[in-house]
Amino acid sequence: MDITIRPVRPAEYAELGGITAQAYLADGHLDFNEDDAYLNVLRDVAGRAALAEVLVAERDGRILGGVTFAAPGSPLADIAGPDEAEFRMLAVAHEGRGQGAGEALVRACVERARAIEGVSAVVLSTQRSMAGAHRIYARLGFVRVPERDWAPIPGLTLLAYRLKL
């Protein structure tokens, strides 16, 4: 199955924002459901694209999911050090799951990080409940770095993972 990874186009911002928001909502990753303030962040692809590289997974002209790649120094990097890249908001539409889109998006982030001189690792934050994503990270060699776990809001501890390049 051919999946293409490419930068999101402005005409696709709303579609990818909807896919990302729906993936988080449907999987129960937002504490306040439709009232969760983070929902607006997930939908704001234009805002992310202005500060980082937003990628989509596409098959047969259809967007299956997306991810935000934050190079060193990006304001969207939450836990990355100066020699690390980070990715965020990995999401795949429910109808696109199990087809390799999530893994292809993560691999694309790793490839981008390797292409940046001086980058020694890729890091990410994830929720405990994101078991499917955890399997992808483990398969690709990411390891837990619990000393870098953090809480963006009280009561929500995010787990940190790192892949040494």
Q: pLDDT tens digits, residue range 51-73? A: 999 999 999 999 999 999 999 99
- Burial label for 66, CB within 10 Å (0-12, 13-18, 19+), is buried
Task: Please give the structure tokens belonging to residue 18.
Answer: 């909807």
pTM score, two decimals?
Answer: 0.94
CATH number at residue 53: 3.40.630.30
Quick check: 26 pLDDT over 90?
Answer: no
pLDDT of residue 104: 97
Number of compact structural domains in the chain: 1
Quick check: 33 pLDDT over 80?
Answer: no
Nearest in space to 122 (alpha carbons), one of 148, 156, 100:
148
Q: Let me know: does 122 contact 109? Beta carbons within 8 Å.
A: yes
The residues facing 59 across adjacent strands are 62
Q: Let me know: does 101 contact 64? Beta carbons within 8 Å.
A: yes
pLDDT of residue 1: 58
Reported as a pLDDT band with limits 50, 70 and 90, residue 32 is: low
Q: Work out the mean pLDDT of the chain and round it to a whole number.
A: 95
Domain range enclosing 58: 4-164
